[in-house]
C-alpha cells in the first residue's frame, strides 16, 4: 500500500471509530433520535425570510443537515455565508439561504421540504441537497434513505428546481454490506434526476483534525473554507445561465 493510500485508510478508520461513538450516543438518547418538525420548519422559514435575495441575485438554497447548518460555528462561518462570499468572489451574484437543520435525517428533511419551499420568497435557481449522513450514523436502512431522497428530488423536479446533490459515504465500521447499499445512493439518484453530483461532502476534511471540530466529524471554520473551495466552482457551474 502506497503512502497516500495508507493515509486515506487511516483517516477512514478514524472516521469509522468516531462514527461508532456518535452512533452509540444517538442510540442512548431518544431525544437525539426524535425529529422536532415544528422547530425545524420554523428555523427554515426564518432563514428564508432573513435571506431574501435582491432582484439581481441568484437564489441558492442549502437544504441539509448539520454540515449545511454550520454546527457549532459562528453565524458567518457556516457553509451558506462562506459559499455566498466565494460565489461573489467568482463574479456570481447569489444569495445562499441556510436551510440546514442539525440532526436531520432524510425522513425529517422530506417532512419539512414543502414547508421550506413554500416559505421562500421565490423559486430557487439552485437547491443544494445534503442529507443522509445522520441516516448512516444511526444505522438506518439504506433503502429508507434512498426512498426519502428519491421523494425529495422528485418534488424538486416537479417544481422545476435544479439540484446539486452533495453525497455522503458510509463509515468503515458500518461494514461492507452497508457501504455497498448506501454509497451508490447518491450517484444513482443524481443520474436519475439529472442532478449535479458533488460525490463526498467531507472531501479534504475528514481525518484532518486541524480542519475539524473536537468531535472529529464536523468541519471547523477552516474546514468549511476547504469544503467551499472545492464546492463553489461546482455550484457556479450548476447554476443555470
Q: Where are the alpha helices (DSSP H) in 77-220?
A: 79-89, 106-118, 133-137, 142-158, 176-182, 185-192
Q: What is the DSSP letter of 148?
A: H
How far is Cα 49 from Cα 55, in angstroms, rounded to an integer?
15
Summarised one tens digit per residue, pLDDT across range 55-89 is 889 999 999 999 999 999 988 999 999 999 999 99
Name the catalytic one among 46, 177, 194, 215. Answer: 215
End-to-end CA gap in the chain: 44
**Residues 3-238, CATH architecture:** 3-Layer(aba) Sandwich (3.40)
66 is catalytic: yes
Q: Which of 40, 66, 125, 171 is catalytic?
A: 66
List all residues 6 or more positions away from 99 whose beta carbon is below 8 Å from its beta carbon. 44, 47, 48, 61, 62, 63, 64, 68, 116
The pLDDT value given to residue 47: 52
Q: Where along the chain do its domains lie?
A: 3-238
Q: Of 82, 77, 159, 161, nearest to 126 (Cα)?
A: 161
Catalytic residue flag (residue 2): no
Q: Closest Cα to residue 153, out of 174, 170, 172, 167?
A: 167
CA within 13 Å, CB half, 128: 32
Note down pLDDT in tens along the chain; length 241 residues.
454 444 444 454 455 544 543 443 343 333 333 343 334 444 554 555 555 778 889 999 999 999 999 999 988 999 999 999 999 999 999 999 999 999 999 999 999 999 999 999 999 999 999 999 999 999 999 999 999 999 999 999 999 999 999 999 999 999 999 999 999 999 999 999 999 999 999 999 998 999 999 988 899 999 999 999 999 999 999 999 8
Give the list of residues 6+ apart from residue 140 with CB closer than 8 angstroms, or none: 105
> Radius of gyration over alpha carbons of the chain, in Å?
17
**Residue carrying C-alpha cell 503512502:** 3
Nearest Cα to 168, choosing from 54, 35, 92, 67? Answer: 67
b (16+ CB within 10 A) / e for 143-179: eebbebbbebbeebeeeebbbbbbbbbbbbbbeeebb
Amino acid at each position: 500500500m502506497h503512502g497516500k493510500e495508507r493515509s486515506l485508510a487511516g483517516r477512514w478508520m478514524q472516521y469509522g471509530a468516531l462514527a461508532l461513538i456518535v452512533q452509540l450516543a444517538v442510540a442512548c438518547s431518544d431525544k437525539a433520535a426524535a425529529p422536532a418538525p415544528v422547530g425545524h420548519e420554523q428555523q427554515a422559514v426564518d432563514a428564508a425570510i432573513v435571506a431574501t435575495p435582491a432582484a439581481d441575485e441568484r437564489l441558492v438554497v442549502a437544504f441539509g443537515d448539520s454540515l449545511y447548518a454550520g454546527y457549532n460555528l459562528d453565524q458567518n462561518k457556516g457553509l451558506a455565508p462562506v459559499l455566498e462570499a466565494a460565489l461573489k468572489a467568482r463574479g456570481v451574484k447569489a444569495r445562499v439561504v441556510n436551510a440546514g437543520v442539525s440532526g436531520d435525517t432524510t425522513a425529517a428533511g422530506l417532512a419539512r421540504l414543502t414547508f421550506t419551499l413554500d416559505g421562500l420568497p421565490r423559486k430557487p435557481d439552485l437547491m443544494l441537497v445534503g442529507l443522509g449522513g445522520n441516516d448512516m450514523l444511526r444505522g438506518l436502512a439504506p433503502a429508507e434513505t434512498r426512498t426519502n431522497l428519491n421523494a425529495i428530488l422528485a418534488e424538486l423536479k416537479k417544481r422545476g428546481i435544479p439540484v446539486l446533490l452533495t453525497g455522503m459515504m458510509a463509515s468503515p465500521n458500518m461494514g461492507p454490506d452497508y457501504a455497498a447499499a448506501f454509497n451508490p445512493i447518491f450517484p444513482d439518484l443524481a443520474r436519475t434526476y439529472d442532478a449535479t453530483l458533488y460525490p463526498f461532502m467531507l472531501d479534504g476534511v475528514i481525518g484532518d483534525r486541524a480542519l475539524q471540530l473536537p468531535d472529529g466529524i464536523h468541519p471547523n471554520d477552516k474546514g468549511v473554507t476547504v469544503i467551499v473551495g472545492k464546492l463553489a466552482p461546482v455550484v457556479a457551474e450548476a447554476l443555470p445561465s
